[in-house]
């Protein structure tokens, strides 16, 4: 995209004055120190403690196996910590979720991705993500005990490295006056083994993938986004992946989180557009970009949702998983998409 603000990454996302560097970066950041940003409210700088309550951080992994989808998340919303492991066994049509939150959840998120760990721990529940970007990989360990009718989930998996190396999508953008966000996203081949209630699921790089979403943000009180992502292989065996987002950023022609991957190469895209019926959210969606590079139909197979309304706090979302069909343009090449698996999400919140 000729109008996109592509630039080399700075040494630090936030400088000594608390100013955030914005742009679509051509390489990963060494220091994603958004916690040092100058956050304002009504033109006045918020004290560090109040700003901390406004900061939202998470690390999410979408694991796509031939017959299963697993969504794993560690989330620190400032005033609320939560974690979940959502499992969907596709041929059986079975879905369930282990979740923990509140004071019983011990949560640690990585400051950076080069050599730090994330962990969510509670009685009978542990998720650990070891970020080892110096080696081009991320490792996941799950140790979740059976709980009532919810089966146990255990496993050790590795995301990457891959040949060719996959370029990450690294973005920092304004999302309102005195508000900003940073995101690092990438799709990687997945290998390892999962055990779900005694059933063993094998992940092999040829047909299994992990979509990593690392996010740090100071959002405005009213926040929304729509998100689509997928990963798979085309007829030639190349890794194909997509990320599209619409959010409060009003300059999405210059800075956005929209990209398609073909092999290891990233192709940045124009603004994204979603067409869906919230009253019939599990009917097919249309997902596209204004530059014509993406034209997809999303057919949901299942999902997870929340409808939390507590006065000044609201979190209403539908995260659906299913199949994408249509076409993508990677540079000068058009790639046909036939039933690649991925996610779509519609989120509206007061934070």
pLDDT tens, position by position, 185-242: 999 999 999 999 999 999 999 999 999 999 999 999 899 999 999 999 999 999 999 9
Q: Please, which contacts does 319-323 make with residues 24 or more away whose CB atoms are closer than 8 Å? A: 319/71, 319/343, 319/344, 319/345, 319/347, 320/281, 320/282, 320/344, 320/345, 321/69, 321/71, 321/88, 322/298, 323/298, 323/299
CA 95, CA 97: separation in Å to the nearest integer?
Answer: 7
Q: Where are the domains of the chain?
A: 6-350
pLDDT tens, position by position, 79-99: 889 999 999 999 999 999 999
Q: Are 261 and 244 in contact (CB under 8 A)?
A: no
Based on the number of CB atoms within 10 Å of its own CB, is 89 exposed (0-12), middle (13-18) or buried (19 or more)?
Answer: buried
Q: Are 242 and 97 in contact (CB under 8 A)?
A: no
Alpha-helical regions (H) of 107-180:
none
Helix, coil or strand: residue 126: strand
Q: What's the pLDDT score for residue 2?
A: 58
Strand-strand pairing, 285-289 and 222-233: unpaired
Percentage helix, strand, coil, to 5, in the chain? 5, 60, 35
CA 250, CA 177: separation in Å to the nearest integer?
Answer: 11
Angle at 34 between CA 29 and CA 38, to 5 degrees: 135
Residue % of the chain over a pLDDT of 70? 98
pLDDT tens, position by position, 271-300: 999 999 999 999 999 999 999 999 999 999
Q: What's the pLDDT score for residue 133?
A: 93
pLDDT tens, position by position, 295-345: 999 999 999 988 776 666 777 889 999 999 999 999 999 999 999 999 999
User: Which pTM does this prediction carry?
Assistant: 0.96
- The pLDDT mean for the chain works out to 94
């Amino acid at each position: 995209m000729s109008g996109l603000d592509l630039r080399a990454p700075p040494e630090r996302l936030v400088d000594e004055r608390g100013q955030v560097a914005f742009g679509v970066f051509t390489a990963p950041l060494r220091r994603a120190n958004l916690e040092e940003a100058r956050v304002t409210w009504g033109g006045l700088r918020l004290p560090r403690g109040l700003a901390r309550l406004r900061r939202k951080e998470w690390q999410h992994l979408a694991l796509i196996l031939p017959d299963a989808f697993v969504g794993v998340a560690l989330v620190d919303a400032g005033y609320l910590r939560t974690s979940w492991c959502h499992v969907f066994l596709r041929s059986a049509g079975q879905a369930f979720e282990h979740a923990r939150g509140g004071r019983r959840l011990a949560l640690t998120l990585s400051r950076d991705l080069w050599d730090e760990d994330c962990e969510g721990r509670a009685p009978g529940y542990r998720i650990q993500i070891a970020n080892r970007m110096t080696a081009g990989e991320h490792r996941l360990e799950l140790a979740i005990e059976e709980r009532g009718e919810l089966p146990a989930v255990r496993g050790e998996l590795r995301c990457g490295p891959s040949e060719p190396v996959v370029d990450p999508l690294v973005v920092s953008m304004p999302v309102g006056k005195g508000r900003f966000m940073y995101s690092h996203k990438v799709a990687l081949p997945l290998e390892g083994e999962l055990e779900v209630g005694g059933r063993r699921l094998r992940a092999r790089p040829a047909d299994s993938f992990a979509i990593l979403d690392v996010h740090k943000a100071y959002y405005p009180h009213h926040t929304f986004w729509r998100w689509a992502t997928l990963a798979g292989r085309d007829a030639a065996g190349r890794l194909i992946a997509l990320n599209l987002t619409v959010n409060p950023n009003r300059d999405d022609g210059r800075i956005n989180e929209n990209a398609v991957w073909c092999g290891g190469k990233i192709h940045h895209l124009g603004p994204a557009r979603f067409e869906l019926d919230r009253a019939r959210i599990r009917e097919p969606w249309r997902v596209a970009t204004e530059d014509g590079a993406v034209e997809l139909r999303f057919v949901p197979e299942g999902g997870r949702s929340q409808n939390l309304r507590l006065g000044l706090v609201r979190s209403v979302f539908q995260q659906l998983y299913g199949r994408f069909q249509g076409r993508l343009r990677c540079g000068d090449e058009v790639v046909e998409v036939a039933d690649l698996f991925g996610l779509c999400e519609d989120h509206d919140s007061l934070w």
